[in-house]
Amino acid sequence: MSKRIAVYGSTGSIGTQTLEVIRENPTLFSAEVITAHNNVDLLIEQAIEFKPNIVVISNETLYSKINNALSPLGIKVYAGEKALIEVAASDVYDLMLAAIVGYAGLSSTLAAIEAGKQIALANKETLVVAGDLVTQMVIKHKSLLIPVDSEHSAIFQCLVGEHQNAIEKIILTASGGPFLGKKPNYLINVKKDHALQHPNWAMGAKITIDSASLMNKGLEMIEAKWLFGLENDQIDVLVHPQSIIHSMVQFEDGSVKAQMGLPDMKLPIQYAMGFPNRIKNNHKRLEFKNYPSLTFEAPDTKTFRNLALAKDAMYQGGNAPCILNAANEVVVDAFLRNKISFLEMSDIIEKCLGKISHIALPGLNDYIESNTETRKYASSLI
């Protein structure tokens, strides 16, 4: 029997690549649920091809157009955030591919966890915002989070067969993004078109800006902390511009395992969907002779302050990462609308972390309030 997949955020970069994996493996997987926010035309096109049981459009104003197109095909169409949550809690699917971008992905992922589902997690913000709560809920409801983020998939793959062995530290690799080696006097003038040109990965706009500012690596440190149950000082970041080593684990005997491959998200996506089995494919292979030098350097956190801010928030704990994430979502959106400069993003995030009250042991409502309050304050600074 094929695994029934719910692709949350099917119209995005990860979502469309997930559907490619399903298209390549029709006997292993079926797209049972697909969802989008605004991109009606692509969602309809996907539904016609993959014939899911359910389609959800979170922006309710777009319901009629989709329903008119798909209900004659016998496809159920629902709209709104509540529908995203209800379908996530239902038994129509086996594995959720959580690929909605940002805080907006939290509520449906939590519903899937409460329903004890397997979740292939691309939406790192869920763990950044509420990692302690999420990991406790995963244990309580016997859910399973399988990372899709390439660094975390690498670490997850390095840990297979190492269950009884303690991790000394993990090393998250970072490409460095389009501004590697640049200094503030250069960054002060960069515009979104340049920031959106990532050297190694084609991704959605938000994560591409996060990669350019190194916030992405900061979010990934926090994501790794919760996924792998690590102490803050067990997480290192290393710039590796070729993006061939996707991350590494160092064990207590000093041995280091790395997972390697070409930078292509389809590999971590299909690994998470097929886990614990690897799936044969004909994707392009890594040829070592094409990479005569793999290089490494320390990140420049004086220039790329977002990484330092994220690390501080991780050490502070409580609701600090939630504040960091909310402020970051607001500033990235403002940068993409040409409202603020590249360097102003860090200034505003820092102000938010200084202004919004710290809560040491937050519950879900505290996270929701911190998110709302931070967005309001960050927006007032723009």
* Minimum separation from the CB atom of position 15 to ligand NDP (A): 5
Identify the residue whose tokens are 């070592």: 288
In the complex, residue closest to ligand NDP by CB: 12
Based on CB atoms, which residue is closest to ligand NDP, 37 or 305? Answer: 37
Provide the 3-class DSSP secondary structure of residue 368: helix
Task: Give the range of 8-16, 150-158, 340-348, 361-369 binding Mg ion by CB under 5 A.
Answer: 150-158
Instruction: Tell me the backbone φ, ψ of residue 36, rounded to 5 degrees.
Output: -150, 175
Neighbour order of strands in the sheet with 256-260:
235-239, 167-174, 245-251, 256-260
Which residues are at the interface with ligand NDP (CB under 6 A)? 9-15, 36-39, 58, 99-101, 104, 122-125, 149, 201, 203-207, 265
Do residues 252 and 168 lie in contact, with contact meaning Cβ atoms separated by under 8 Å? yes
Binding mask 255-284 vs Mg ion (x if CB under 5 A, - otherwise)?
Answer: ------------------------------
Q: Which does 104 bind (CB under 5 to 8 A by kind): Mg ion, ligand NDP, none?
A: ligand NDP
* Minimum separation from the CB atom of position 168 to ligand NDP (A): 25
* Minimum separation from the CB atom of position 367 to ligand NDP (A): 17
Based on CB atoms, which residue is closest to ligand NDP, 9 or 176? Answer: 9
Q: Which does 204 bind (CB under 5 to 8 A by kind): Mg ion, ligand NDP, none?
A: ligand NDP
User: Rounded distance, CA 125 to CA 98, Å?
Assistant: 11
Residue 164: strand pairing partners: none
Do residues 48 and 75 lie in contact, with contact meaning Cβ atoms separated by under 8 Å? no
> Would you count residue 149 as binding Mg ion (CB under 5 A)?
yes
Q: Which does 223 bind (CB under 5 to 8 A by kind): ligand NDP, Mg ion, none?
A: none
The strand pair at 95-98 and 144-147 is best described as unpaired
351 is written with which tokens? 């102000």
Based on CB atoms, which residue is closest to ligand NDP, 104 or 180? Answer: 104
* Minimum separation from the CB atom of position 220 to Mg ion (A): 6
Task: Give the range of 51-59, 141-149, 156-164, 168-176 binding Mg ion by CB under 5 A.
Answer: 141-149
Q: Where are the alpha helices (DSSP H) in 52-162?
A: 63-70, 81-88, 106-114, 125-140, 150-158
Identify the residue whose tokens are 């690929």: 99
Residue 308: count other Cβ atoms within 10 Å of its Cβ: 17
170 is written with which tokens? 């993990």
Based on CB atoms, which residue is closest to ligand NDP, 133 or 203? Answer: 203
Q: Which does 87 bind (CB under 5 to 8 A by kind): Mg ion, ligand NDP, none?
A: none
User: Rounded distance, CA 144 to CA 142, Å?
Assistant: 7
Based on CB atoms, which residue is closest to ligand NDP, 63 or 201? Answer: 201
* Minimum separation from the CB atom of position 150 to Mg ion (A): 5
If 0-12 CB within 10 Å is exposed, 13-18 middle and 19+ buried, where does residue 266 land? middle
Based on CB atoms, which residue is closest to ligand NDP, 15 or 362? Answer: 15
Q: Which residues of 76-95 are buried (b: 16+ CB within 10 A; e: fewer)?
A: ebbbeeebbbebbbbeebbb
Based on CB atoms, which residue is closest to ligand NDP, 40 or 238? Answer: 40
Based on CB atoms, which residue is closest to ligand NDP, 6 or 101? Answer: 101
Tell me how many helices (H) and strands (E) the chain has: 16, 11
Instruction: Tell me the backbone φ, ψ of residue 19, rounded to 5 degrees.
Output: -65, -30
Q: Which does 317 bind (CB under 5 to 8 A by kind): Mg ion, ligand NDP, none?
A: none
Q: Which does 71 bind (CB under 5 to 8 A by kind): ligand NDP, Mg ion, none?
A: none
Q: Which residue ranges make up the site for Mg ion (CB under 5 A)?
A: 149-151
